[in-house]
Structure 1
Amino acid sequence: MGNYTLKTDNVPKELLIILDIIKGNKITTELLIDTDWKLFTQLLIHHRLYPLIYPRLKDYDQSFFPSHILQIISYKYRMNTIEMLKLSGEMIELDSLFTNNEIMSIFLKGPALALEIYGDISLRTSGDLDILVSIDQLESVNVLLCKVGYKKDEYFSTTLDDWKWRHHHLTYYHSEKGIKLEVHWRLNPGPSKEPSFRELWERSSRVSFSGHSIHLLGKEDLFLFLVTHGARHGWSRLRWLVDIHKLINKDVDCPSLINRLKKYDYMRIGGQSIILSNQLLNTSIDKYMTNEIISNCSKKLANEAVFYLERMINLHSEPLPEDVSNFHKKHMFHLLSFRQKLLLILSFLYPYPDDVDVLPLPKRLHFLYFPLRPFLWSWRRVKGLRKQTISS
């Protein structure tokens, strides 16, 4: 990585201590002076790192950390283990359900990822299950899930076919089991280029749960998915970066990985992820990968990501503070390659479901939304401004 150093001056001391523990650095009592233990605990929970920290705390004397902090971490660790066991059982049931109905499925994260790259499901958290299927089998999947008690969250309109590429997953919830499930037909929201389901299936690996074989993305495809997911969320939870750290140490085929990053326009965020992993977690990076993937652009993006580490940001908790919202929008645009930026701009010309709300047309006339798009967009803007004027 040369002489490059990430600018972490404004990152909370408590988060740096957490990172030191994860890296295996010996913590001294002097380092812990004036530690804000409430913030320490909040950061552990926010970044979902408490399962990884808990086993390492056993290397220290019982009196080294405050007893109430150890109790909180111990409790969270036990509860997470129970949750991961519950998700593991549901994952096996869903995989059997789909297999028996000739539906090919690949689990993206959750217990399968934890076992594959951590070697132990208790060392990683997961709030839900994520499964990838072919878009051609979405309707069959929907019917099966509804039969076994899942209910779909209709959070976007399917009136126009734009949902197939603008969005990338549907959300289901099983109220009795308390389990959330995301069914993906793409790895990422569009507009973006990515491998087909068939390619991902043919390259998928398998992980065994109690003798049951679960399909997981192959290592290089998994890296592609994890870096795009983490970057899209600003690496605002360091658990995602630890995933990268663990995966890189799993004998990833570097030439194949780099070819895939180039093919799908993710070189800059691939570089961002390994810089962050190297600088924050001491990840050892293959020299070939460093030479091929690190650029001035990826260094700039890595430093921008520090913004999310200087405070606790939950991007799903809206409304976001104005400064966070403005920064995040700019950072998301910076992550895009020139081709991706062009596709994004062109995508605004494609009709949105809001256009249907403004001017409902029968399906046979939906083609008219394309030439009418600029006028409908302008009309919504005018109506929005009028409402603001009246309310003020």
Structure 2
Amino acid sequence: MNIEQKLLALLIAESPDASPFLPEIMSSTEDFDWERFEALVDRHRVGALVHAGFQQFPAITPPVALLKSLTRKTNENAEYYMRAVRLTGELADAFAARGIACACLKGIGVANQYYSAPSQREMIDVDLIVTPERYADAEEIVSAHGFELFYPDFDLNERSREAFMALHNAFTYIRKSDGMQLDLHWRMIPNPAMQPAIDQSWTQAIPRTKIGAKNIPMLSPSMHFVYICTHGAKSGWVRLKWLADVDRAVRGLSHDEAAAAAKIFVADDLQRIGAVSLALSQRILGTAIPTAFAGLLKQDVRRLIDLELGMMFADMPSRPHRLQDWAHYRDRFHHSVLLKSGGGYRRHALLRELARPRDLATVPVKSGELWSLGALSPMLGIGRALKRLLGSKS
């Protein structure tokens, strides 16, 4: 990690005095590359956290323009949080009136429960999950609240819709009147073999949490923590925002909640994910790990940590993807298959690394033929990359 990365980690830690980078940063005479630092902040979506972190270290003097930008981001987060609470409450009430079980994932629940100020956690959308068998009814309610389908951004017939839902885990909706974005999930994670027990049991206990004037349905704290870890780990922790969630949640769990979470990791064979999430949070943010998780930390996850550190601080792949991004995707493939084994997980993981749901617009296969899309998507991607490369040279 370079000095800018270490400063970023220090500033977003819940307890900076526990950060392994505190002595080096405070004694450093090296000039910071503030432009590179600001790019890191934007990439990891932690502007408000960094703004709060700077308040604790007056000896560190960033450029005035950067501080103004971070202040603006904090204010934007606060406004979005209040709008997200209102929207979540309205949709949850509408779902409940129709007998549709739902729960809020990450977002406002994490911000409210685990952050010292909800505005410190950046959000770009609201994530809600409903049961798959009532998904069509939930879509009707979402539409009645002014939302339009945003992704997938191509027409779906019955066959391609079924295939998309087998590959992915949510549709994205947007409300043009106020810019609110909603991810409506039928499954928490795209890979159905990653946390099957959670996907089957989340409706059994959905506590309502008072947030502002709204009662928001949430996962239990132990299950929500496991989901937070799974969500970040399956993406290789490419955004430090997700690791900050782990840091805050670990500190906010009671002993009994941590013990219950440890049991859920084992029940869904997610020990590696639990271990790497906790170990990485401890290594980067100085997170103190509760004794309830001691068993998880016996897992050997050194290779996973090496891969995740590489993806966390390497340049993000370009969009649209380019041929020079190959090393990132090589590491991502390797990382995905190492996260878990058994229960068909690796077969599903490989399919989802190969097959792009967007390619269903070009190759509208049936859900039982997804491996053909897995074979075709890489070729289609290479073809697009070559076309762009040749076009740029002409």
SS at 1:329 equivalent: helix
CA contact (8 A) 1:46 1:312 kept: no
Q: Which runs of 5 or more residues in structure 2 are unaligned?
A: none
Q: 1:1-392, aligned counterparts within 5 Å?
A: 11-21=1-11, 22=13, 23-25=15-17, 30-31=27-28, 33-61=30-58, 64-153=61-150, 155=152, 157=156, 158-159=158-159, 161-192=162-193, 193-195=195-197, 199-249=201-251, 250-251=253-254, 253-296=257-300, 298-313=301-316, 317-319=319-321, 321-339=325-343, 340-342=345-347
SS at 1:159 equivalent: helix
- The more displaced of 381-390 and 195-204 is 381-390
1:169 CA drift (Å): 0.9
CA distance in 2, matches of 1:209, 1:330: 40
CA distance in 2, matches of 1:346, 1:52: 36
Q: Which runs of 5 or more residues in structure 1 are unaligned?
A: 1-10, 361-365
Over 3 Å counting, the alpha-carbon distance change for 1:142 and 1:121 in structure 2 is same
1:273 CA drift (Å): 0.4
CA contact (8 A) 1:191 1:344 kept: no
SS at 1:171 equivalent: strand
- The more displaced of 285-294 and 25-34 is 25-34
1:65 CA drift (Å): 3.0
Higher RCO (Cα < 8 Å, 6 or more apart):
2
CA contact (8 A) 1:159 1:353 kept: no
Over 3 Å counting, the alpha-carbon distance change for 1:79 and 1:44 in structure 2 is same
CA contact (8 A) 1:110 1:129 kept: yes
Q: Deviations over 1:146-190 (max 9, x none)?
A: 122111235275406444443211111111111111111111112
CA distance in 1, matches of 2:222, 2:109: 16
Identity %: 20
SS at 2:210 equivalent: strand
CA distance in 2, matches of 1:347, 1:324: 16
SS at 1:35 equivalent: coil
SS at 2:127 equivalent: strand
CA contact (8 A) 1:111 1:121 kept: yes
CA distance in 2, matches of 1:43, 1:353: 28
Using the size of structure 2 for normalisation, the TM-score is 0.80
Over 3 Å counting, the alpha-carbon distance change for 1:130 and 1:240 in structure 2 is same
1:276 CA drift (Å): 0.2
CA contact (8 A) 1:151 1:173 kept: yes
Over 3 Å counting, the alpha-carbon distance change for 1:174 and 1:381 in structure 2 is closer
Over 3 Å counting, the alpha-carbon distance change for 1:165 and 1:221 in structure 2 is farther
1:214 CA drift (Å): 0.3
CA distance in 1, matches of 2:292, 2:377: 51
- The more displaced of 200-209 and 261-270 is 200-209
1:239 CA drift (Å): 0.9
Using the size of structure 1 for normalisation, the TM-score is 0.81
CA distance in 1, matches of 2:37, 2:352: 43
SS at 2:196 equivalent: coil
Larger radius of gyration: 1
SS at 2:295 equivalent: helix
Amino acid in the other structure paired with 2:183: E
CA distance in 2, matches of 1:111, 1:14: 29
